Amino acid sequence: MIYFDNSATTRPCDEVIKVINDDLTGDNWGNPGSLHKLGMISSKAYDKALEECSRVLGCKPMELIFTSCGTESANTAILGFMRANPRKGKTVISTRTEHKCTLESLKFLSESGYEVKYISVGHDGKPDLDELKSCMNDDVALLCFTHVNNETGSILPLKEITDIRNELCPSASIYLDCVQSLGKLPISLNKTGVDMASFSGHKVHGIKGSGLLYIRESVKVSPLIIGGGQQNGMRSGTQSLPLASSMSVAMTVAEKERESAYDRVSKINAYIRSELIKREAVINSPSDALPFVLNVAFKNFQSETMLHCLEIYDIYISTVSACSSKTKKTSYVLENMGIERAVSANSVRLSFSRYNTMEEAKRFIEAIDEIYSLYEVKVR
């Protein structure tokens, strides 16, 4: 099997599987909120996982909240911030190429009386910074952006955006979706200038059901889940040590192998990109995109056709984002980048991980050639 769909989810690494098994079968199965010995053992391990996550992300442990996924983190950050800060303003700025969890949160705000301004993006997927500047005023409370786009790999010009915020509207906060950048780009939250950020465990060889939300110490956010007051009242409910430990271990291993993985994947991406261009494929990902994502359109092939053709060879890719694939046939991300609909309809996403190899890349190209031959697609 060749798995090139790592932006959708990743295979849990051995270290994650081990720590979950240890937590479920050892002495760590107690409730971290209990005052007896078993509770204290679990609580201590839970705090250790939190501290390790904060070390990787460059922030304080008290600024992190374990959640169930990136979507919950995004919902809490965006909706909870606006609810907790009514005097900061009623305007939010974002783009239409954000992940669905952000777009649906913004839609909810818009239907609730807030003004959401969507600035355009270029063919490179980056926000129009001049347009951003023109939108900044005293009523802007929040900026919502994605660090790395999950469909194209486009990298946000974060420093330029924080500089614009600091100069024109310093009271506005910034929420950053870091789901696709975690473990692939260096992240030091206390140096980025962002106020909130979301993360997901199953994108970095952790497990589904694990996520993180960063909230800068000085930022007010209302919780979406209330009850027993766990996690400093920001997310009530009994803490899950296996989920926290798995998130911590997944992040630690990903950070340890980040530079070597980046180098390996860069070579894989460059090889596949160059070979596909020879075969008259259209590359939608910008040249400076994160190498872990490659969006491409194949000549004379609808995206689903190519997906299922490759599946015959036990090669797995995706069409649009997994969160949109059940309801939409073409990518709203590509459409908002100005990609022609005919190209968008033929586009698929290859997304790599640290476990992919150059041998797999070569076998992928061989499969493409066989598919082209079968369908009698001619290239120069």
* pLDDT (tens digit per residue) in 18-76: 999 999 988 888 889 889 988 899 999 999 999 999 999 999 999 999 999 999 999 99
Last residue of a domain, one of 231, 255, 279: 255
* Whether residues 42 and 176 fall in one domain: yes
Lowest mean pLDDT among 50-59, 120-129, 157-166, 293-302: 293-302
CB 269 within 8 Å of CB 352: yes
Backbone angles phi, psi at 14, to 5 degrees: -60, -35
* Whether residues 204 and 348 fall in one domain: no
CA 260 to chain centre: 20
* Whether residues 48 and 70 fall in one domain: yes
Q: How is residue 289 written in tokens?
A: 């995109």
Beta strands 293-297; 282-283: pairing state: antiparallel
SS percent in the chain: helix, strand, coil, step 5: 40, 15, 45
pLDDT over threshold 70, residue 378: no
CA separation for the pair 154, 124 (Å, rounded): 7
How many domains would you assign to the chain? Answer: 2
CA separation for the pair 334, 341 (Å, rounded): 8
Lowest mean pLDDT among 87-91, 285-289, 307-311, 325-329: 325-329
CATH of the domain at 165: 3.40.640.10
Percent of the residues in the chain that have a pLDDT greater than 70, as a whole number: 96
Return the higher-pLDDT residue of 79 and 29. Answer: 79
* Whether residues 86 and 224 fall in one domain: yes
Cα three-residue angle 150-156-161, rounded to 5 degrees: 145
pLDDT the model gives residue 30: 87
CB 350 within 8 Å of CB 4: yes
* Whether residues 307 and 242 fall in one domain: no
* Whether residues 232 and 178 fall in one domain: yes
pTM above 0.85, yes or no: yes
CB 27 within 8 Å of CB 267: no
Domain span at residue 329 reads 2-9+258-374
Q: Which of 13, 59, 169, 323 is catalytic?
A: 323
> Which of 87, 97, 92, 134 has its CA nearest to residue 112?
92
CB 356 within 8 Å of CB 4: yes
pLDDT over threshold 70, residue 98: yes
Last residue of a domain, one of 196, 231, 255: 255
pLDDT the model gives residue 300: 86
pLDDT over threshold 70, residue 349: yes
pLDDT over threshold 80, residue 323: no
* Whether residues 235 and 307 fall in one domain: no
CATH of the domain at 286: 3.90.1150.10
Active site residue 323: yes
pLDDT the model gives residue 321: 52
Tokens 């330029």 sit on residue: 160
DSSP letter, residue 173: E
Q: How far is CA 213 from CA 75, 165, 234, 295, 304, in A?
A: 10, 22, 10, 28, 34
Q: How is residue 170 written in tokens?
A: 């310093």
CB 76 within 8 Å of CB 101: no
Q: Is residue 380 in some structural domain?
A: no
* Whether residues 186 and 206 fall in one domain: yes
* Whether residues 264 and 241 fall in one domain: no
Handedness of CA 133, 134, 139, 142 (dihedral sign): negative
Mean pLDDT for 186-197 is: 96
DSSP letter, residue 156: P
